[in-house]
Structure 1
Amino acid sequence: MSKDLVIRQLERRDLPAALAIQSQVYPSFLVEPADAFASRLDASAQFSLAAVSDGELAGYLLAHGWPRQSPPPIGAILSPSALSEVLFIHDLAVGANGRGLALGRRLVNRAFELAADQKLLCAELIAVEGAAPYWQSLGFAEAEVSAELEARVAVYGSQARWMTRHIAPLSIG
Structure 2
Amino acid sequence: MTGDEPTPAPASLPPAPARRLPAPAVRVRRIQEGDWSAITALEAAAYTPLGLSEGEQRLRSRAAVSPETCSVLHLGDRLAGYLLSLPCPPFRCPDLDRAEQPSAPGPHAGNLHLHDLVIARELRRQGLAQRLIRHLRRTAGSLGYERISLVAVGGADPFWAARGFTAHPGVRPPAGYGDQAVYMSQRLEAS
Q: 1:56 aligns with which of 78, 87, 90?
A: 78
Q: Is this contact kept in 2: 1:33–1:75, CA < 8 A?
A: no
Give me the TM-score of the superposition, normalised by structure 1.
0.88
Q: Which runs of 4+ in 1 moved over 4 A?
A: none
Taking the aligned partners of 2:113 and 2:154, their CA distance within structure 1 comes to 18
One-letter amino acid matched to 2:136: A
Taking the aligned partners of 1:151 and 1:88, their CA distance within structure 2 comes to 13
2:143 matches 1:159: no
Query: Could you say if the C-alpha distance between residues 49 and 18 of structure 1 is closer, same or farther in structure 2, counting changes exceeding 3 Å?
Result: same
Q: 1:133 aligns with which of 149, 158, 163?
A: 158
Q: Is this contact kept in 1: 2:28–2:132, CA < 8 A?
A: yes
SS in 2 for 1:63: strand
**How many Å apart are 1:29 and its aligned residue?**
2.1
2:65 matches 1:21: no
User: Percent identity between the aligned chains?
Assistant: 27
**How many Å apart are 1:151 and its aligned residue?**
5.2
2:132 matches 1:107: yes
Pick 1 or 2: higher relative contact order, CA cutoff 8 A, min separation 6: 1
**How many Å apart are 1:34 and its aligned residue?**
1.0
One-letter amino acid matched to 1:7: V
**How many Å apart are 1:155 and its aligned residue?**
2.4
Give structure 1 stretches of 5+ with no counterpart.
Answer: none
Query: Could you say if the C-alpha distance between residues 2 and 10 of structure 1 is closer, same or farther in structure 2, counting changes exceeding 3 Å?
Result: farther
Give me the TM-score of the superposition, normalised by structure 2.
0.80
SS in 2 for 1:155: helix
SS in 2 for 1:64: strand
> Larger C-alpha radius of gyration, 1 or 2?
2
Taking the aligned partners of 1:2 and 1:46, their CA distance within structure 2 comes to 28
SS in 1 for 2:51: helix
Q: 1:88 aligns with which of 96, 100, 113?
A: 113
Give structure 2 stretches of 5+ with no counterpart.
Answer: 1-21
One-letter amino acid matched to 2:145: L
- The structure with more helix, counted as a fraction of residues: 1
Query: Could you say if the C-alpha distance between residues 136 and 39 of structure 1 is closer, same or farther in structure 2, counting changes exceeding 3 Å?
Result: same
**How many Å apart are 1:109 and its aligned residue?**
1.1
Q: Is this contact kept in 2: 1:11–1:41, CA < 8 A?
A: no
One-letter amino acid matched to 1:137: A
Residue matched to 1:73:
95
For residues 7-46 of structure 1, give each alpha carbon's deviation from its aligned partner in whole angstroms, at most 9, with x where no partner exists.
1112232111011011111225211121110011111111
Instruction: Supply the RMSD in Å over aligned alpha carbons.
Output: 1.8
One-letter amino acid matched to 2:57: D
Q: Is this contact kept in 2: 1:53–1:98, CA < 8 A?
A: no
One-letter amino acid matched to 1:93: V
